[in-house]
Structure 1
Amino acid sequence: MTFLVTGATGTVGRLVVEELLEAGQRVRALSRNPAKAALPEGVEVVAGDLADPGSVAAAFEGVVGAHLINFAGDDYAPLPDGARLVELAAEAGVRRVTVLGGRADGPLEQALAATDLEWTLLHPVEFMSNTLRWWAHTIRTEGVIKEPFGDRLSALVHERDIAAVAATVLVEGGHGGREYTLTGPEAITLREKVAILGTAIGTEVPFVELTVAQARAKWAADGMGEQTIEFLVSALGDTPEIGYTVVPTVREVTGRDARSFAQWASENADAFRE
């Protein structure tokens, strides 16, 4: 069977490709720039852009299942015509679809719900991999983490577990019409997260808790816009319950325990060292 993976060079998409290959499946990967995709040997890389459904039509041909993302481009803009993508997938005979970051009220998701396709929406909470983006450079250069809301809880999830769920759903089927929240095995505070990372690196990483005013000033100095700053204050200062409530979805779908942040930190420790 052949499976199409969109967003195939992204944090999760690249791992969905690997998971499908490990399961013995044929993989077709969609990329806006196939020459720079750098995916594993044996992957069929095809050109296409989700923002231009016509460019993706051929990629659906002969595909049993497709892993979709509900945004396009580096700026994570909403898909301009998700309904057309769904139409093309159905016309090509695609049977199963997973959607990363699926929104029940989004155009793509609404279009899927109106078809006979076996669709599954995946709702990961905070990605463990965001730690690289936010903290790696700071820890390497300053050796300290300065953030607000030190007691904020998060059930952050390993990106490999997100990919494993997507691949399992696509290959095995039986998850049609489901919406899955994906979390790690535990909820940890920001302070605990810093301590766990320090243990993995092999050196203590001090944590300095900022006030909200100090955080706003720091983020502004980092070049963030006012809208982004206010979003962070809201999201981090009042994390919704779903963001820190552990659920067993990873084990229930894949049969394996969700990976802990300690495991993620150990796997990525070198990125935080000088």
Structure 2
Amino acid sequence: MGKILVTGATGNVGRHLTTRLAEAGLEVRAFARRPERVEAAVEVVQGDLTVPGTLEPALKDVESVFLLWPGFSTGNAAEVISAIAGQARRVVYLSAHVGDGGEAPTHYQEIEGLIRRSGLGWTFLRPGGFAANTLGWAEQIRQGVVRWPYGQASRALIHEQDIAAVAVHVLTSAGHNGAAYELTGPEELTQAEQVRVIGEESGREVRWEEQPSEEALERLSAAWGDPAWVRSALTTWEGFVTRPERATDTVERLLGRPALSFRQWARDHAADFA
């Protein structure tokens, strides 16, 4: 098996993926903006996908690429994918879960389209909500009250280690070319239930307090600096109240074991809420 390049090697998924591939004795090269943060004992190239010139040395002798695109703008994605196609044979792209309308968010669609037309062999991993996103509640959980909108919004959040495990499987076994895998956790929980589970696993008394969407728009816009993105997020959360994100069995089918539960994720991250 040829060398594997992991982009986003210090992220929630990339750091686990890099470590798992290295532990399996495979040739791995990590591509990261902050190479000192790469945890695995692998070759590291410093670079940034938004600066395509930094990608060229990282692609030398690479057969497969795990692609994590930074941000929500496609920017220079066409140039990056062309560079990958000029050196590698296949790409595993971390895309996004397809919603009720049958389409992923626009920038994911655009990058998937570029990859389909590139001549590369490809596999798309389309996870739903990341369990790790609930780390955004950490300070509120320490204070004992999570004030947030749409407590009844229900999702099947996925453990980042399951995404990494699926990526390892796809990168190291045959039969995945042209596949798009919808990945979720094993159960659907409302946001209020997620808070309860985190409280139980971190040993804290935590309650949910429903926040009006208008207040959330104002506060999150001030915190995140992009009102349009906040409106989009609020609309998405509202939709999950009446149309929950349904759990799939894809992780179990691919790995031969059940997907990790949200409770397991909360247990693994209990120290982050301490």
Bucket of the pairwise TM-score, normalised by the shorter protein: 0.7 to 0.9
The secondary structure found in structure 2 opposite 1:16 is helix
Tell me the matched-pair count. Answer: 264
Deviation at 1:172, TM superposition (A): 0.9
The 5 A counterparts of 1:132-211 are 132=135, 134-140=136-142, 142-211=143-212
Partner residue in 1 for 2:64: 65
Displacement of 1:208 in angstroms is 1.2
1:60 Cα deviation after fit: 1.5
Tell me, yes or no, if structure 1 residue 212 matches structure 2 residue 210: no
> For residues 235-260 of structure 1, what are the alpha-carbon distances to aligned partners after superposition, in whole Å with 9 as ceiling and x for unaligned?
11113998611111111222221110
Q: Deviations over 1:44-71 (max 9, x none)?
A: 0012221122321221121121101223
- The match for 1:127 is 130
The match for 2:115 among 112, 116, 119 is: 112
- The gaps in structure 2 that reach 5 residues or longer are 97-103
What letter corresponds to residue 112 of structure 2 in structure 1? E
Report if aligned partners of 2:252, 2:258 keep a CA contact under 8 Å in 1.
Answer: yes
Counterpart secondary structure, 2:131: coil
Other-structure match for 2:94: 100
Alignment of 1:78-93 (within 5 A): 78-92=73-87
Q: Which amino acid aligns with 2:95?
A: G
Q: CA deviation at 1:78?
A: 2.5
Unaligned runs of 5+ in 1: none
Moved more, 11-20 or 79-88: 79-88
Match of 1:16 in 2: 17
Cα gap change, 1:243 to 1:90, in 2 (>3 Å)? farther
Is residue 252 of structure 1 aligned with residue 253 of structure 2? yes
- CA separation in 1, counterparts of 2:156 and 2:112? 25
Residue correspondence of structure 1 range 27-66 to structure 2 within 5 A: 27-34=28-35, 36-41=36-41, 43-66=42-65
> Using the alignment, how far apart are the partners of 2:25 and 2:222 within structure 1?
48
Cα gap change, 1:23/1:251 in structure 2, threshold over 3 Å: closer, same or farther?
farther
Could you state the TM-score of these two structures normalised by the residue count of structure 2? Answer: 0.87
Residue 220 of structure 1, CA deviation:
4.9
Question: Could you tell me how far apart the structure 1 residues matched to 2:94 and 2:19 are?
Answer: 16
What SS does structure 2 have at the residue aligned with 1:199? helix
**Conserved in 2, the CA contact under 8 Å of 1:70 and 1:78?**
no
DSSP 3-state at the match of 2:4:
strand
Contact 1:125 1:243 (8 Å CA) reproduced: no
Deviations 1:6-47 (A, max 9, x none): 01111111111112123221210012243x333222x10012
Separation in structure 2 between the aligned mates of residue 91 and residue 84 of structure 1, nearest angstrom: 11
Q: Aligned equivalents of 1:177 and 1:130: distance in 2?
A: 29
- Amino acid in structure 2 at the alignment position of 1:127: F
**Deviation at residue 87 of structure 1 after TM alignment:** 2.6
- Taking a change above 3 Å as real, the CA distance of residues 176 and 242 of structure 1, as seen in their structure-2 partners, is farther
Q: What's the CA shift for 1:91? A: 2.4
Q: How many Å separate the matches in 2 of 1:266 and 1:124?
A: 21
Q: Distance in 1 between matches of 2:144 and 2:109?
A: 41
SS in 2 for 1:24: coil
- Whole-Å separation in 1 of the counterparts to 2:53 and 2:256: 38
Scaled by the length of structure 1, the TM-score of the pair is 0.87
Question: In structure 2, what is the Cα distance between the partners aligned to 1:243 and 1:162?
Answer: 21
AA of the residue aligned to 1:138 = Q
CA contact (8 A) 2:144 2:204 kept: no
